[in-house]
Structure 1
Amino acid sequence: METQKIWDNFNDELYFFILKKVKDKDVTNDIFQNTFLKIHNNLSKLEKEEKARAWVFQIARNEILNHFNKESVYVQKLDTNKEISSEKYEHICCFDKFINDLPEIYKHVIELIYIKGQKQKDVAKELEISLENVKARVKRAKAILKKKFNECCKYELDKNGKLIGESNCSICKTE
């Protein structure tokens, strides 16, 4: 079998197979090119012509895997033990006060997840409660905080659920 025959039979299908996996045209083009280069260089290893399709797609899968393995070398590992600084929240009116005013079961979960940066499943283990319970507490705590920010400080939520606006808070003006 010749490289041209493999190209004629599989190039479109192979290109879209790769594109579907990596979802980036530039990366797809690189992987596609590398795949055909390997096909051409290793054509003598193809023993049975009827197995060509499986062989070609296995080479493509290996090239896709090589791409993702190379890419993962450059991803920094997140340090989950590092506490998240509350400085980014200091400009928000009454932030500390509202957190401290939460009922203890909600306050503790919010501090562990959002201030200390722990994962919800780790908090569930630490508190010896279910993950669903942790999620429910977070949801309730957020609802309480949103209500307090809306009532007291006149903040609003944008379409992404983030606080926007300026503080118009009587509590902050007295402190």
Structure 2
Amino acid sequence: MMNIKNYKEVSSLWIEYKSGLKYYILKKIKNEDLADELSHEVLMKIYKSCCSGNEIKNIRSWMYQIAHNTVIDHLKKENKFADEVTEILGVDKNNTYEDVEEFVEPLIKLLPEKYSAPLILSDIKGINQIEVSKKMNLSLTATKSRIQRARKLLKEKIIECSNLEINAKGNPISIEIKADCEPLQKNSRKNN
């Protein structure tokens, strides 16, 4: 965890991350001048948060989240439609969403199969619930109930196995796997 206590710390962080942040924004916006402008806006937001006393668990994820939100705010100001925003933003290596997604399937596999199977079909593979009910030979009501229960159990597993930090909008800022969650630790070691 880290507190940004003075502007000098912000400057050194900015020097370390500015090119990666600009590249991230440029990939989303595809306009060099606008990427420079939004990068400057990100820097101002980082400076503004200086000395706020807030503890930051993962500086890199926090800074990329600021960049991500800045791009979203810009697109909203430009009146882009929601599907365009989703398409433009996508999933990126520097985005915490990917860090979280990396651990979702292993966590789902920790659930009892009667819950994990319909959840994987529905939420991971994107099959509609009517088709899931047919594949699993269940009524639609039973399928919906199992998927809903699986989501609740998955949320409990996420709380049990990780320290997930979210912002005020409910978006992930950083994720850290708890040392005592062996299945996720194995997955983390495998991916490093």
TM-score between both structures, scaled by the size of structure 2 = 0.39
**What TM-score does the superposition give when structure 1 sets the normalisation length?**
0.42
Higher relative contact order (CA 8 A, sep 6+): 2
Bigger Rg, structure 1 or 2: 1
